[in-house]
A and B are shown apart, each in its own frame.
Chain A
Amino acid sequence: MIRDERIPSDELRRIDDEIRSGWSTGGDVDFEEAIRYHESLPASKRFADVLESADKPLLQPRAGVPRLDDQIELLEYLQDDGKADLLPTTIDSYTRDNEYGKAQEGLEKARETGEDTLNGFPAVNHGIEGCRELIDALDAPIEVRHGTPDARLLAAITFAGGFQSFEGGPISYNIPYTKRHGLEETIEKWQFVDRLAGAYTERGVRINREPFGPLTGTLVPPSIAIAIMIVEGQLAATQGVRSITLGYGQVGNVVQDVAALNALQKLGDEYLPDEVCVTTVFHEWMGGFPPDEARANGVISLGGMTAAIAQPDKVITKSPQEFQGVPTKEANAAGLRTTRQVIDMAIEQNIDIDGIAEEQDLIERETRCLMDTIFAHGDGDVVRGTIEAFDSGALDVPFAPSDSAKGAVLPARDDDGRVRIFEWADLEMDDDIKEIHKARLSQRADTEGREESFRMVADDVDAISDGKLIGRPQGKGGVGSAD
Chain B
Amino acid sequence: MVLDTMSRTVVLGVIGSDAHVVGITILEQALSAAGFDVVNLGVQTSQEEFAEAAVAHSAEAVLVSSLYGHAEQDCQGFHEVLEEADVDAMTYIGGNLAVGQDDFEQTRETFEELGFDRVFDSETDPEEAIAALERDLHVTTSESEQVTVTS
Contact = CB atoms under 8 A, between A and B. Distances in A.
Residue of B21, B30, B44, B125 with most chain A CB atoms under a 10 A cut-off: B21
A461 interface: yes
B22 A453 contact: no
Given A180-B44, A216-B22, A458-B30, 14 more contacts: A178-B19, A179-B42, A179-B43, A179-B44, A218-B22, A401-B20, A401-B44, A407-B21, A410-B25, A410-B29, A423-B149, A453-B148, A454-B126, A454-B149
Interface residues of B, number: 18
Contacts of B149: 423, 453-454
Interface in B25-50: 25-26, 29-30, 33, 42-44
Contacts of A400: 21
Contacts, number: 50
A157 interface: no
B29 A401 contact: no
B132 interface: no
Contacts of A398: 25
Contacts of B29: 410, 454, 457
B151 to A, nearest CB: 8
Interface of B: 19-22, 25-26, 29-30, 33, 42-44, 125-126, 147-149, 151
Nearest to B26: A458
Contact of B22 (A178, A403, A452, A461): A461
Interface string A392-409: 000000111101000100
28 contacts: A179-B19, A179-B43, A179-B44, A180-B44, A216-B21, A216-B22, A218-B22, A398-B25, A399-B21, A399-B22, A401-B21, A401-B43, A401-B44, A403-B42, A407-B21, A407-B25, A410-B29, A423-B149, A451-B147, A453-B33, A453-B147, A453-B148, A454-B126, A454-B149, A457-B29, A458-B30, A458-B125, A461-B26
A458 B124 CA distance: 11
Contacts of B22: 216, 218, 399, 461
Interface of A: 177-180, 216, 218, 398-401, 403, 407, 410, 423, 451-455, 457-458, 461
A312 B129 CA distance: 43
Contacts of B148: 451, 453
A407 to B, nearest CB: 7
B76 to A, nearest CB: 21
Nearest to B45: A179
A401 B33 contact: no
List 5 A-B pairs, minimum CB-CB distance, nearest first.
Answer: A454-B29, A401-B43, A401-B21, A179-B44, A458-B26
A227 B149 CA distance: 28
B120 to A, nearest CB: 14
A403 B42 CA distance: 8
A238 to B, nearest CB: 29
Contacts of B21: 216, 399-401, 407
